[in-house]
Amino acid sequence: MKLYKNSLLIGTATLILAGLLTRLLGFYYRIFLSARIGAEGIGLYQMIFPLYILAMSISSSGTQLAICQLVSKDEKHAGSSLLSGLLVSLPISLICSVFMFMSSNLLANYYLNEPRCQPLLIILSLCIPLATIHNCINGYHLGKQNAFIPGITQLIEQIGRIVVVYIIFRFLYDNTNLNPTKLASIAAIGLLASELISSLFSLISLYFAKENYKGPIKKQAKVLTKLSLPITLTNVSLSITHSIEAAAIPLYLHKSGLTTSEAISVYGILTAMAMPFILFPTTITCAVAKMLLPIIAKAKASKNQHKIEFLAMNTLKYCTAFGILCTTFFILFGHFIGSYFFNSPSAGDFITTLAWLCPFVFISSTLGSILNGLGFTKITFYHNLFAALLRLSFIIFLIPTLGIKGYLWGILASELLCSLLHTISVVKYTNT
């Protein structure tokens, strides 16, 4: 028991430290961006991310977790598991990349309902294969319970993004002479640069790992595909609903009486200013979730029920306590955060309203990882899908009459539903 406690604690601490540094740099970056490109530019930039997440869900999200599970169960063939994962996911990522590049005009005009997003989608399409490479390699390292490389990769990615965008604004362009589309495109270029840097670092890390890549590649690929398919379908379904949300929120805000520019600005303030602060504590819970999955998968393979019950019980207990603490903090200081960091009272209003999210987000992310580690990927899929559909119904039926408050209530309701369903399932399947 002491061994797996130490493994979990060391790996989690590494990811937390890297995550905290990354998030702190991310706050600086968002403050820097808000001053350079404005709320409308940030809104345009944020609108493209659900499509990016959708592409990554198709190409590597399931593969990354499958590699993690295979490596944790069979370290002898860790190299062949990684290689088979790359051989499966890279061709898919290239197809997604080409499709987004060639269909950028259609996606911008008819899916996002915002023609100004087209140049951003073109830049974004180039990121997909690069992100796929470092996602798969991160899955390999996490499967070996080595959190150092994924943590450093995350940090390098953020630093690269900031440095590139800063150089562009400092030496190449004056932001006062550019429209919101061009300003948002500079942010997208920063994202492309960061993906290139992180993928190169991930590849270099494999050289020092000195892994043996000989093994039953075809057999591993079949097993990996079987493991990754349910996770991929889950993430793709959720990503589709999230991308629909990204397109629907500005559209329905416009129906509530806002102009197109105002609607995109409100969306930008919510997603790029308020939400990052609310989700800042997930640096800790996401680190726990990443380390839990391979440990739970290994415990199930060895039929160590006591270990599974111990981890599930303590995860639920500590996530609830931590969530209540974070909720109290954001209720007390939300308005100050919005005004001080972004000079935006609206951001402060959003933060205080969304403060109640914290316990439910923490519980759903960690317990979802436990369920995936146990192999109940279909259950997590259904739970997340129900929550996403509930949130989408709030957008359609409440935003036209209540404005952005309708969406805020939808987020709260959906996270409450997802955490409740996850909790019931974990209690049922672990006997805690």
Tokens found for residue 137: 């390699």
Q: Residue written as tokens 């002491």? A: 2
In angstroms, the CA 113 to CA 108 distance is 6
Task: Report the 10 Å Cβ neighbour count for 203.
Answer: 12
In angstroms, the CA 283 to CA 73 distance is 26
In angstroms, the CA 14 to CA 9 distance is 8
In angstroms, the CA 29 to CA 165 distance is 9
Q: How many domains does the chain have?
A: 1
Give residue 183's identity as a one-letter amino acid code.
Answer: L
CB neighbour class for 296 (10 Å; exposed up to 12, middle 13-18, buried from 19): buried
Q: Which domain holds residue 354?
A: 2-430
In angstroms, the CA 294 to CA 76 distance is 15
Q: What is the pLDDT of residues 253-282, one digit of tens each?
A: 988 889 888 888 898 888 888 888 898 888
Q: What is the pLDDT of residues 407-429, one digit of tens each?
A: 999 999 999 999 999 999 998 88
In angstroms, the CA 284 to CA 276 distance is 14
Q: Specify whether the CB–CB gap between 11 and 147 falls below 8 A.
A: yes
High-pLDDT (> 90) share of the chain, %: 37
Tokens found for residue 369: 């990882």
Task: Report the 10 Å Cβ neighbour count for 214.
Answer: 10
In angstroms, the CA 289 to CA 304 distance is 19
Please determine, for residue 432, whether its predicted confidence score (pLDDT) is greater than 80: no
In angstroms, the CA 432 to CA 416 distance is 20
Angle between helices 78-102 and 49-56 (to 10 degrees): 140
Q: What is the pLDDT of residues 200-225, one digit of tens each?
A: 999 998 888 777 777 777 788 888 88
Average pLDDT over residues 33-60: 87
Close Cβ partners of 242 (under 8 Å, ≥ 6 residues apart): 50, 53, 54, 388
Alpha-carbon dihedral sign for residues 387, 136, 52, 291: positive
Q: Specify whether the CB–CB gap between 224 and 67 falls below 8 A.
A: yes
In angstroms, the CA 228 to CA 251 distance is 34
Q: What is the pLDDT of residue 6?
A: 55
Q: What is the pLDDT of residues 16-33, one digit of tens each?
A: 787 778 878 887 888 888
Report which of 238, 244, 272, 224 is spatially closest to residue 368, judged by C-alpha positions. 238
Q: Residue written as tokens 């997590």? A: 380
Average pLDDT over residues 48-74: 87
Q: pTM above 0.85?
A: no
